[in-house]
Amino acid sequence: MSGSGSKEEPLTVAGCRFWQFPTFADQRGYLTVADFATMSFPVRRVFYISQVPEGQTRANHAQRESKELLLAITGTVSVLIDDGRNRQSIVLWRRNVGLLIAPKTLCSLSHFSKDAVLAVFASHPYDVADQVGDYDEFLSISVGNSQRL
């Protein structure tokens, strides 16, 4: 099993953190594992975002309840996260380091590289009612400084 040696940028957004996926490398290539028994929440689904045209953004909302774990399977993606108090932009590019997004965190995805495929592991079924896109409404539910994951 091989990890990345260097440190990630410190996260200041409440409840969000990096997640290291086990990776096994040998002469046959790389194998990265998402074993749901070891993850920090029960994974109900995973979806893959790809072929996002230049200039487009995705997500742009918080989830009331759902936790998500983002992994750039290939390419690079920018993730803006905001807890109502702190805001931070993270570039995902490592094949074995994901970003855990706490509930009630505003998340915006942008700057997808042409080859980018973003995997999103989610704790809940899809429910548009769980999404909060309006910023004022988001601020009303955000808890800024609490630890949520």
In the structure encoding, which two tokens stand for residue 103, read together?
């509930």
Minimum distance from CB of 139 to a second copy (Å)?
25
Cβ neighbour number for residue 64 with a 10 Å cutoff: 15
Which residues pair with residue 146 across a beta bridge?
Answer: none
| Minimum gap (Å) between residue 14 Cβ and a second copy | 27
Nearest to a second copy of 47, 134 (CB atom): 47
Rounded to a whole number of angstroms, the minimum distance from the CB of residue 110 to a second copy is 11
Token couple for 41: 């929440």
Output 5 or 125, the one with its CB closest to a second copy: 125
Residue 12 · residue 84 · CB < 8 Å? no
Residues found near a second copy in the complex (CB under 8 A):
27-37, 43-53, 56-58, 73-74, 95, 112, 115, 117, 125-126
Nearer to a second copy, 65 or 115 (CB): 115
**Cβ-based nearer residue to a second copy, 16 or 69:** 69
Angle at 13 between CA 121 and CA 135, to 5 degrees: 85
Query: C-alpha angle with apex 80: 75 to 82, nearest 5 degrees?
Result: 155
Taking the complex as a whole, how short is the minimal distance between the CB of residue 39 and a second copy, in angstroms?
9
Residue 86: C-alpha distances to residues 42, 82, 146, 147 (Å): 27, 6, 12, 13
Nearer Cβ to a second copy (87/126): 126
- CB 56, min distance to a second copy, A: 5
